[in-house]
Amino acid sequence: MGIRERLSGNEASATAMKQINPDVVAAFPITPSTEIPQYFSTFVSNGTVDTEFVAVESEHSAMSACIGAEAAGARAMTATSSNGLSLMWEMIYIASSLRLPIVMSLVNRAVSGPLNIHNDHSDAMGARDSGWIQLFSENNQEAYDNLIMAHRIAEHKDVLLPLMVCQDGFITSHSIENIELIEDEKVKEFVGKYNPEHYLLDDKNPIAVGPLDLQGYLFEHKKQQSEAMKNAKKVILEVAKDFEKMTGRKYEFFEKYKLDDADIAIVCMNSTAGTTKYTIDKLREKGIKAGLLKVRVYRPFPAEEIAEALKNLKAIAVLDKADSLNAAGGALYEDVVSGLYNAKATVPVVNYIYGIGGRDTKSDDIEKVYNDLQEIMKKGTVENPYRYLGVRGDK
């Protein structure tokens, strides 16, 4: 029987970390993720956990400390946002290349400049090809649940990759919602102990970590990383099944909302899915067959599965909360279109860049997208696939 609570997304994340009780947490404050290590530090000071909390001088140092701890055989966690992730840049690639299953709570925020402390996905999208598994969370419950599952996924012997759990800054991180927590002993049993096969402090099996890796080996090591990311797809589903047995809450690569009989659909991530569901319900009352595909697992990207779920639609809109600045659409759009192309699914797809810098996206904006999709469905083609939603001066 779960424990009913009312928590913000940051409190929920810190609570998950408390229940996991990692060996090391290293963190540096940055809005809007500051509360996560702040809440967790109180658990350290009052003895609720026996974690070694490392208060460092920068986010680069936070990730460096996590890398050192994980390489030494400890379970390590951290949290950051936006420019904090940017300052970790060198180290996040090293973490994944060294196959260290560090878990990070990433509270999504616009990357400077100009300075903006509100939500979009430019931080996570910038790191999408860094070799980290990326799970996205619509609400506080999902942020909590994803963190509970994270170590089981990252530490699996066929994966051994770092993992970031994303949630929208302020929208979920600071908003209080009802949440169902899992009992401490169940979390402890579910997560299990971290028993790495190879680590620096194992004096019986000495190893080197991070040696020079030139033409003779780096290519093969990168392919191993790629294979591990492919393996993560199977592991993510296996862990989700075990999680469902424990909690009754079901998770897959994505969530389909009224999609099976839909003519038109939106593809999006994180909190925008809630606004979209509300809009769908209103449109369904008018007889409009609208649906949603909410991506939960972005890396590894479930291209084949998403294409299978979308192939029978008559028009699709992909919403990107970050602009790739490449004149060819956002990152999520590119991945969805690539998956559809490889599946030989010829569905008209339009891309909307939206919500940059925390710009509100309301149900009226989502309804406008569905209205556009109805016009695309009638014509059967997309005249302008690269669009903006809610930006001033756009016609």
Q: Which two tokens stand for residue 215?
A: 């033409």
C-alpha 277/C-alpha 287 separation (Å) is 15
What pLDDT is recorded for position 1?
67
Q: Which two tokens stand for residue 165?
A: 């759990």
What pLDDT is recorded for position 354?
98
Neighbours of 131 (CB within 10 A): 22
What pLDDT is recorded for position 395?
61
pLDDT tens string, the chain, 395 residues long: the values are 689 999 999 999 999 999 999 999 999 999 999 999 999 999 999 999 999 999 999 999 999 999 999 999 999 999 999 999 999 999 999 999 999 999 999 999 999 999 999 999 999 999 999 999 999 999 999 999 999 999 999 999 999 999 999 999 999 999 999 999 999 999 999 999 999 999 999 999 999 998 899 999 999 999 999 999 999 999 999 999 999 999 999 999 999 999 999 999 999 999 999 999 999 999 999 999 999 999 999 999 999 999 999 999 999 999 999 999 999 999 999 999 999 999 999 999 999 999 999 999 999 999 999 999 999 999 999 999 999 999 998 76
Burial 246-270 (b: 16+ CB within 10 A, else e): ebeeebebbbebbbeebebbbbbbb
Q: How many CA atoms lie within 13 A of 332 on its CB side?
A: 31
Contact yes or no for 209/71 (Cβ under 8 A): yes
Sheet holding 290-295, edge to edge: 254-257, 290-295, 264-269, 315-320, 349-354, 386-389
What pLDDT is recorded for position 122?
98
* Single-letter amino acid, residue 270: N
C-alpha 119/C-alpha 131 separation (Å) is 23
Distances (CA, A) of 44 to 7, 125, 190: 19, 32, 22
What pLDDT is recorded for position 393?
85
Contact yes or no for 163/228 (Cβ under 8 A): no
Which residue has 């090391």 as its token pair? Answer: 24
* Single-letter amino acid, residue 290: A
Q: Which two tokens stand for residue 7?
A: 């928590």
What pLDDT is recorded for position 394?
73
Q: Which two tokens stand for residue 60?
A: 């680069």
Residue 389, beta-bridge partner list:
354
* Single-letter amino acid, residue 1: M
At 59-86, the pLDDT tens digits run 999 999 999 999 999 999 999 999 999 9
Strands 76-80, 3-8: pairing kind: unpaired
C-alpha 142/C-alpha 135 separation (Å) is 10
C-alpha 243/C-alpha 245 separation (Å) is 5
C-alpha 353/C-alpha 333 separation (Å) is 10
Distances (CA, A) of 19 to 2, 16, 167, 183, 243: 14, 5, 19, 9, 15
Three-state SS for 376? helix
Contact yes or no for 328/291 (Cβ under 8 A): no
DSSP state of 300: S
